[in-house]
Structure 1
Amino acid sequence: MRLFTRYNQILLIISLFGLLIIGILFYRMLVFYLDRQIDHDLVEEIMEVKEYSDKNSFYKPHEFEDLIVQYKKIKQARLLSIYADTVFYNPVKHRTESARYLKTEFEIVGQPYQVLVIASKFERQEQIRNICLIILLPVMLLFGLVLLVNRILLKKYGILLSSF
């Protein structure tokens, strides 16, 4: 029986290590994919800024969007686009949130501006958390079931093996 106990311990350690590695890789890929989606949304927002800004006013996002658009007049616009993560204070929700931003420079009505578009990652982080839970719970149940069946089978056939 000692051999079967040791076998179960090794199986448990290898399985947990494998699940941990797969879980980390899955989480990183999910975060990468959702960041690319946010980047795409930021580019679309920049296109709206270019299209809808005029001499009298600058484009402002809708209130229900978790976006902030900031304008800063500069001396000369360069071909520059920077994507990065940041933390910002969301004035609509009155809390600090993680976000992704796109900083770029271009001319609006003949004047060079640096435009910063910030998009909250809060909802996307909630999505990641929910997806991970939806996947993690069945995997843990399956893992527990496999261990239970393995234990039952080893006990059942372990007795037969010890009689040889």
Structure 2
Amino acid sequence: MDAVRISDDTKVQLKAVSSKVHPHEVEIAQLFSSPPHIGHPRNHCIPILDVLSDPEDPDGKIIVMPMLVRFREPGFETVGEVIACWRQIFEGIHYMHENFVAHRDCGSNNIMQDPTNLYPDGFHPVRTWMAASYKGFARYITRTECWPRWAAR
């Protein structure tokens, strides 16, 4: 679910997590979102901005993270863009393993990229190929021009 952080108008995503189903997800996410990991250049884990309690579920948490887009949107235009993407994915997984954490669900739905420079005018949070207003297509620049950072969630 998308939302906006009131303090600075930052677009964020909310992810509901059940501690019964995923008992360590919040703890691991917070580990990689705190020093010394948060500033490490090989850490490609999505930074956690906040963790809220689910008011309707005592075992539920709501993770607040930056608004990201799937790694393959928009489509890759050069071989170099694909290589840069996979280099960051492997670098991030290696960094997690060095810190004794296995991702265990590194599928395409969990590989995201920072769209800040990629979509200079913004985009619709659900249909990322559309403009934020949903009036026309979202304008984007190539990854070669902006070199986005990829992350795992």
- Give the TM-score of the pair, scaled to structure 2: 0.24
**TM-score normalised by the chain length of structure 1:** 0.23
Structure number with larger C-alpha Rg: 1
Greater strand proportion? 1
The structure in which a higher percent of residues are helix is 1
